[in-house]
Amino acid sequence: MRNLEEIITALKEYDGEEVRIMEVCGTHTAAISENGIPDMLSPKIKLISGPGCPVCVTVTAVIDKLVELAMREDTCVLTFGDLIRVKGTIKSLADAKADGAHVRMVYSPMESIKLAEEDPAHTYVFAAIGFETTTPVYAMLLEEAVKKDLKNLKLLTSLKTMPEVIRWVVTNGGGIDGFIAPGHVAAVTGSGIFEELSKELGIPFVVSGFEGAQLLMTIYALISMKGKTGMKNLYKDVVSYEGNIKAQEVVNKYFEPSDSSWRGMGKIPGSGMTLRKEFSPFDAGSIGLDEDHMPPGCQCANVLVGKLRPYECPLFGKACTPDNAHGACMVSTEGSCYNYFVSGRK
């Protein structure tokens, strides 16, 4: 492979057929923006942010359920920061908190163990959203809750898996020529799942880390592989072919595959993980949360699958800004709209 300086020159001067490359990891979306990578590429290289931000793909029914739970006198909802500001059908968890609901931001799911132990009079519900990256953490949380017999700790789950949504994007006309495979997800699942997807879909995948130099090398590799199948792993210091077997085992102990609803995409068969029946007492009502009500004019659904660029949404930068976000893609620091806005990207 060429050295980095040669790769940068080649990417800037590329004059072949247009290449559409999608990343499906919110951290990649943020890293691409932070490193100014779009400005280093030929206009014929199009980077598209796919459905890789967990907050962005969570349907409004999940938010509505969390708001309902938080309004109960004996219940407190625990969540990461980004989710607090995402609106449901009517209000966000931040709005509910202003109305007196019990909502608390935490930095780790494991904090909920101590809270539940110290306050048995209240039920603590953790908003468990995410992809294969965070599901093992929720499994470890359950492991501890089961061991301690914490009957006042529950999860409301909206857990997604990558392979099925990638299939959905390709099948539904995304026009994608290659995928930057999510490094964090691959660390758990292994790079092998992307090799299988490449063979099935006829599109190349390159597993990447998050440094600017590695992302540039990844984009260069995908351009070189355009029109071919194959998977390359450029993140071998973290990602193996088989993945983290122990993490996979603990996830399979507590969760099983399920159909799941995605913002703007509807229900995708086999694209989620739900609690196994034997652990249903720890579920706070996750089943059947499928409804999704986009704010009027919001185009997050089309942005998430690459049909529109964020700035093509009529609300972008006008009614919808990071300080007054209408859509989930503008709320999260991993969201494509947020990153387009803060970087001034076009």
pLDDT at 1 over 60: no
Q: Is 249 helix (H, G, I), strand (E, B) or coil?
A: helix
pLDDT at 37 (0 to 100): 95
Task: Determine, yes or no, domain membership for 156.
Answer: yes
pLDDT at 214 (0 to 100): 96
Task: Determine, yes or no, domain membership for 271.
Answer: yes
Interval 183-212 mean pLDDT = 96
Task: Determine, yes or no, domain membership for 232.
Answer: no
Task: Determine, yes or no, domain membership for 335.
Answer: no
Contact yes or no for 330/92 (Cβ under 8 A): no
The reported pTM is: 0.92
- Taking alpha carbons only, the member of 104, 68, 102, 69 closest to residue 83 is 104
Residues 6+ apart with CB under 8 A from 121: 74
Query: Residue with structure tokens 């099935």?
Result: 200
Task: Determine, yes or no, domain membership for 78.
Answer: yes
Instruction: Report the number of distinct structural domains present in the chain.
Output: 1
Task: In the chain, count H helices and then E strands.
Answer: 15, 11
Q: What is the dihedral of CA 262, 267, 270, 273, to 10 degrees?
A: 50
Q: Is 49 helix (H, G, I), strand (E, B) or coil?
A: strand
Based on the number of CB atoms within 10 Å of its own CB, is 339 exposed (0-12), middle (13-18) or buried (19 or more)? Answer: buried
Beta partners for residue 129, in sequence order: 158
Sign of CA dihedral 197, 200, 201, 203: positive
Task: Determine, yes or no, domain membership for 342.
Answer: no
Angle, helix 192-201 to helix 162-171, in steps of 10 degrees = 20
The pair of three-digit structure tokens given for residue 83, joined into one six-digit string: 């989710």
Contact yes or no for 219/45 (Cβ under 8 A): yes
Q: Note down the domain range covering 278.
A: 60-161+243-282
pLDDT in tens, 164-193: 999 999 988 668 999 999 999 999 999 999
Regarding beta strands 205-207 and 153-160, do their DSSP bridges make them parallel or antiparallel, or are they unpaired? unpaired
pLDDT at 204 (0 to 100): 98
pLDDT at 4 over 80: yes
Task: Determine, yes or no, domain membership for 341.
Answer: no
- Taking alpha carbons only, the member of 229, 238, 185, 212 closest to residue 50 is 185
CATH classification of the domain holding 105 = 3.40.50.11740
Task: Determine, yes or no, domain membership for 256.
Answer: yes
What is the rounded distance in angstroms from the CA atom of residue 298 to the CA atom of residue 315? Answer: 7
Per DSSP, the residues of 259-298 read: EEEETTTEEEEEEEEEE-GGGGGGBSS-TT-----PPTT-
pLDDT in tens, 68-109: 999 999 999 999 888 999 989 999 999 999 999 999 999 999
pLDDT in tens, 286-297: 999 999 988 888
